[in-house]
Structure 1
């Protein structure tokens, strides 16, 4: 950990830097001694307010030295007690040193003494001694910020060993033999390659055996995330889901699965040979996916689904459900009260699995209490084990594909680590990427250090953006004009009084769970019959809505399809997470800044201006017009949006989507058997027009909304006609509006008679 003192500056706070007195002279001497003799870098600040701004803007400070006497020497508005309190609230371990010559130790309160690390008297010791004490604090702190695995990785990489093992580039040297390699090396920097190591390095433990510092890191993550066991998985949460299911589910076992699940869970059913019965999520009239009805989790409802299944043999219908899988939270931020779910399912299911890919941060904020899988409630004797899959890379800070698998043991059933590890090793590489392991280690330490403070900042910033957008929408509406809105409560009840969302205090919205709980009494969300205290909206998932559709699903005379807006934002270097027909999703995560928020609002206002002015598409989307001049040349932005809106309206695309996802097609083959037909090559591509009464061998997943519309092994018969109608309408839409092709997994496109036609892999008739 070379040169750490230079990389972790000392923040020196005093109002005396420019004065001509003995204290000021010694202060300047101290700064010089720190920089020259102790090789520390120093950031001077003249006031507590300025110093606090520095502290809030950077997390690389190694020590804070604050002159306790500033208020007596200047017109300082902030007092040192408040300054120290804020520093300690946001960083529990950074050294805080008080510098004074007037304050007696007995005058310091117990609260202040608990929050500081040292007191230095300006005139009592020599400058070299003071600088040495400070330097020692910086060094100790720098070593402490490295979590277990990352710290050992850095130590090893800095030993400059001659390696004779994999990987072949050997610390980056291999790249220097070629210009392309040199370019690659220069772009990423030496440390990336020096820390890309082999499993042959014993000092770094074993990911597959969970030994050494890898074990220490995983156990530390388990403590942080309230789990009994935590496993680092480097192939993404898709692989986490495979590990969980392969460890517990056998061919012919019954699985109770959220139809709104990620396709990796559907593949888990393929791999394990599970027999699925489905829980059906609600959708509102905007097409936003909502929660499964609570009644579906009752033993009676689950048993009725099993009895009605054509896949489950009669001899197995009395078997217990081996595994349940529920998505929490949904893409749009619908989060279940997990305590309520567990009380229902524990009577019917042997293992509970919560897919929390987009929700790894939940346990670090009281905003989400009781609404995440590892919520630390008491486990009763008969409670089944709980598994959570989390994409630590999505909304925390791990590298892409770096995920975690969390386990909480049941009341009587304990998941044996040795047995479980067989499934883990089946899906893990024997050549793990050590930088990815380190990123999971660091992501954990970050949340342990000040996760609650960071989450409070993120929620607060999301609330600010929500309030500002709602305020702009209200301002434009008062003039009979339009603007974008957000899917969120229109009004909030505080102390029995209803007020507009944008008028509600930001602190109330960012610290209280109540405003985000969905209720049937205030149906802003559009989910009919919502159960009380059952689901909440995650405030950091921002679903913007565009004009064109009312909350009740009524299509309005004018409208702006969201894909046009998000394409516009892309041209302004703003990329959203998900685009629906009349909504788009933005994620306010750890990497979001107020500058990004301001840029987003500016771009939306610019879109409004271009829309209102009907700016030619040649100026807005020149590449689109160049590629498809017949359809788009000479068209303005407003006319383009209106034409697409009228098409969606006249063809009832949202209604057809709603109908399609309310159907569970007849199951002719279990997912595993359908895939086996692919392996046998007993499949053929069939065009959509010819697919009625055929059995797809693969799942078909349209985006939006990004969930399977039909699974492999389900038949597209008359019962499933709504699915055919929706897919056919999507096909026709893409021919009418080229350049707006949607992503439909399982569907190939082929030009036929001058048109784009859908085809998919079906089992041979």
Structure 2
């Protein structure tokens, strides 16, 4: 048995810690049962594990270093049976605590100091109470630490809703490392005196973070306190910070800004600090709408309104549909109600618990306003577009975006300028849109005199395949050319990113706050002036397109919207989504029209269960998000390692790496695989590079199997083994870990992939020479990729308001197709012949293959040879807007001539 995998296979301190405690429990049991001859080697391994765990447990209150000291004492006294029993108790309590998040007050609680054990006032919270830990930063001696711990325990009361223990960090470095390692931390108490560097050997944990844990530069106590507060909030913005000082707290409070919730004088006791800590947790723990809905479900009511299922009235006594109550349970019917029935808030005009829930969500996600949406991010996108865009406005949008954007633009009557992402032809997918491409489009529109009509830029972050933009850079450079441009970032698959310190910087809301603060800083004006001088009086377009631009702080307005599918990457019932707003002009320019757009697309009968689940999902993300996203990253790393290191799997399969999906010109850091190189190097790549790869997305290349992606997905994974995969191309499958992914589920996937590889190996070995040649040919073809991905061709002149710009009136094309007499169906051969005769063939519909799921053709777009070649090469079972029996729906020549003549 391998007692503990080598450190190189661990993706986090948490993973290392869990495996070390598991190995320690196994080894102590072995030591207690084996004879004297086998004990020296086992005992040495136990000592090494305790040594390995010591710097890790410095970051935790439970089990903590006190527990390790107890185990070391039992080991040195040769009390092997008691050592095994105690280690097993600790390991089980730790595992239960990790899984349930409740107070670890069991027989496994680490031994307390004698005065703590006998103190009758020491009242632990109930074992079922949610448990968290508090970081105390201060250079305390052993007696001071023990007294502080004892006093805070004495202040507990039996009816406390939460339980906590403290972790003491004597230095800046210890505090930063603890905040990165210990996901149970929910509050930090900073005292006046702490050192810069740790006195412990932290090499075991530091290598996971590199220079990310560097201490602040020397300065006075106040500067170091502010620097530590800023660092901790940058890493973990959900933490509640408190300051305990021996100075004049009145003046201190005026200087620390919004970093700290409260400041306390050190000589005034700990009661107010204790109560404040619990109050801070209580505030974040609130789920006002879920609480209101649960209370409503417990009230006796008489329903003389709609909703026969309300209170289970049409269900519970029915002999024909008892399954519905058995399957869903009673609460779902007791909670069914309507806003017009009274008793609960209205989604369309919230003033009570639903308004509170949305405000809490805005705080959690860093937004100024947040709106809940119960029918998915498709609707959220349409709401934002309708609120910001009027007919005839120009919108720049990635043509590789979700279909809801295209339909939203049709409904709004926007004139569309499509942007082309860089192609990854070998894998049949697009990357993302380079900022230079966006700037060139803006500069072209400026020269044509229509820049004032450009209202919105819409991009998907991150893309389905895990390519992540640098929103700060994109917005900053675009604002340099169009200072009032609004942005819609589709973060349908990126809601989790807010709760990880590296991911966060690439979210729309964090970028909006960063830019707002930057432009308000007086020093930025000087930096901008120097930048403007460096460009010269009249920079040419090539200079502007290839230079990193900065906006004028006197003109710029930060106007950012993000739509997120809460149900896709956080906890929520299906179709639970949010719109986050950080728009400096929202209140006086957008609020009223946004409300109208929201009313247009939102049902008057929203599903209250979806709303309640989003309320609870926000609470979970605030308390557990950091830990859950870290676990998500760990599982992705395990999957990558398993495929790369398995001799059979690596023969047929490989997970694509950053260099394969992000070309070098977009990676100035040169870091190829950020996840595997430590948090700080990952942070550096995510700070510098134009595009990075989300490590939780694993694109599995299967070309060497000779099996196309659609067949691999349906026939091998889903139908045979019940493994669900969302997206494929001809030669890839996309696996995504999420906050619910477990080690067991990853192990099962690896087991299935090995089984498939073994079956393939056996089948290849039994092939005839003819069959083997056919297989090798198929594998070679798939390994080489598919047909080149087509760029957006162009809108036909009949749907282009100006021949000088690429903008298209897609709305006119969309609704013209409602008239059957204006359309016809042509087969591929018929289109090819028509094109050969010089006819311009124009699509009347959206044509969207699944996979990959983006429109290859939109209404009004010219059908090109590249599009037909690409479509012919696709191996897919589902194409929306195309029927092989009838062909493509296109506009007739007469319809185009009439339309074009009318437009002129």
Q: Would you say same fold, with TM above 0.5?
A: yes
Cα gap change, 1:437/1:500 in structure 2, threshold over 3 Å: closer, same or farther?
closer
In the aligned structure 1, how far is the partner of 2:466 from the partner of 2:561? 20
Equivalents in 2 of 1:233, 1:191: separation in Å?
22
Structure 1 match to 2:131: 94
**How far off its partner does 1:749 sit?**
3.3
Cα distance in 2, alignment partners of residues 142 and 344 from structure 1: 42
1:333 to 461, 466, 476: 466
Structure 1: any 5+ residue segments left out of the alignment?
A: 1-11, 14-43, 74-78, 81-86, 98-104, 121-131, 308-313, 492-496, 519-531, 549-557, 618-632, 734-740, 751-756
Q: What is residue 396 of structure 1 aligned with on the other side?
A: 570
Task: Name the CA distance, whole Å, in 2 between partners of 1:114 and 1:280.
Answer: 63
1:679 aligns with 2:822: no
Determine if the alignment matches structure 1 residue 760 to structure 2 residue 889.
Answer: yes
Secondary structure of the structure 2 residue equivalent to 1:675: helix
**Structure 2 CA distance for aligned equivalents of residues 72 and 385 of structure 1:** 54
Matched, 1:569 2:717: yes
Q: Is the counterpart of residue 694 in structure 1 residue 841 in structure 2?
A: yes
Distance in 1 separating the partners of 2:696 and 2:764: 33
Q: CA deviation at 1:668?
A: 3.6
Whole-angstrom CA distance in 1 between matches of 2:401 and 2:339 = 34
Residue matched to 2:868: 724
Shift of the 92–171 alpha-carbon distance from structure 1 to 2, 3 Å rule, reads closer
Matched, 1:438 2:438: no
Which whole-Å CA distance do the structure 2 matches of 1:498 and 1:373 have between them?
24
The correspondence of residues 143-292 of structure 1 with structure 2, limited to 5 A, is 145=285, 147-284=287-424, 285-292=426-433
* Residues 199-252 of structure 1: per-residue CA shift (max 9 Å, x gap): 124332110012211110111111111111111011111111110111111111
Conserved in 2, the CA contact under 8 Å of 1:360 and 1:390? yes
Report the Cα offset of residue 319 of structure 1: 2.9
Deviation of 1:636 after TM superposition, in Å, equals 12
2:842 and 2:400 map into 1 onto residues whose CA distance is 21
Alpha carbons of structure 1 residues 235 and 373: separation in structure 2 relative to 1, 3 Å: same
Q: Does 599-608 or 194-203 show the bigger shift?
A: 194-203
Cα 1:721–1:241 change in 2 (3 A) is same
Classify the secondary structure of the residue corresponding to 2:300: coil
Q: Closer, same or farther in 2 for the Cα pair 1:256/1:416, shift >3 Å?
A: closer
Q: Is the 8 A contact 2:377 2:575 kept in 1?
A: yes
How many Å separate the matches in 2 of 1:342 and 1:423? 24
Aligned partners of 1:667 and 1:715 also within 8 Å = no
Indicate conservation of the 8 Å contact 1:96/1:117, yes or no: no
Question: In 1, Cα distance between the equivalents of 2:131 and 2:731?
Answer: 47
Q: 1:265 deviation in Å? A: 0.5
Could you tell me which residue of structure 2 aligns to residue 377 of structure 1?
514
Q: Which among 706, 710, 715 is matched to residue 857 of structure 2?
A: 710
Q: Which residue of 2 aligns with 1:353?
A: 488
Give the distance between the partners of 1:386 and 1:114, measured in 2 at CA: 47
Cα deviation, 1:506-530, whole Å, max 9, x if unaligned, reads 6x54675248659xxxxxxxxxxxx
SS of the equivalent of 2:700 reads strand
* Structure 1 residues 178 and 110: alpha-carbon distance in aligned structure 2, compared to 1, 3 A threshold: same
Provide the C-alpha distance between the structure 2 equivalents of 1:46 and 1:134, rounded to a whole number of angstroms. 29
Query: Whole-Å Cα distance in 1 between the matches of residues 644 and 686 of structure 2?
Result: 19
Compared with structure 1, are the counterparts of its residues 277 and 137 closer, same or farther at alpha carbon in structure 2 (3 Å cutoff)? closer
Contact 1:562 1:580 in 2 (8 A): yes
Q: Residues 667, 726 of structure 1: CA spacing in aligned structure 2 closer, same or farther, 3 A cutoff?
A: farther
Distance 1:175 1:544, change over 3 A: same
C-alpha spacing 1:409/1:498, structure 2 compared with 1 (3 Å): closer
TM-aligned CA distance change 1:163 to 1:498, over 3 Å: closer
TM-score, structure 1 length as denominator? 0.72
Which structure is higher in helix share? 2
Q: Secondary structure at the match of 2:381?
A: helix
Is structure 2 residue 339 aligned with structure 1 residue 297?
no
Structure 2 equivalent of residue 742 of structure 1? 877
- Normalising to structure 2: TM-score of the pair? 0.61
1:4 is aligned to none
Shift of 1:675: 1.5
Q: Does 2:717 align with 1:535? A: no
Change (3 A) 1:355 1:68: closer
Query: What CA RMSD, in Å, does the superposition of the two structures yield over aligned residues?
Result: 4.3
Provide the C-alpha distance between the structure 1 equivalents of 2:496 and 2:631, rounded to a whole number of angstroms: 13
Match of 1:422 in 2: 596
Matches within 5 A, 1:291-690: 291-298=432-439, 300-304=440-444, 317-346=450-479, 347-348=481-482, 350-375=485-510, 376-379=513-516, 380=519, 382-410=556-584, 416-472=590-646, 475-476=647-648, 482-489=651-658, 508-509=677-678, 512-514=681-683, 517=686, 533-548=689-704, 559-567=706-714, 568-570=716-718, 571-614=720-763, 642=776, 644-645=778-779, 654=786, 656-658=787-789, 660-661=790-791, 663-664=793-794, 666=796, 668-669=798-799, 670-681=809-820, 682-690=822-830
Native 8 Å contact 1:565 1:607 kept in 2: no
- Following the alignment from structure 2 to structure 1, what is the Cα–Cα distance between the partners of residues 313 and 335? 13
Superposed displacement of residue 602, structure 1: 0.8
Give the Cα–Cα distance (whole angstroms) in 2 for the partners of residues 415 and 635 of structure 1: 72
1:129 is matched with: none
Offset of 1:499 from its aligned partner?
A: 11
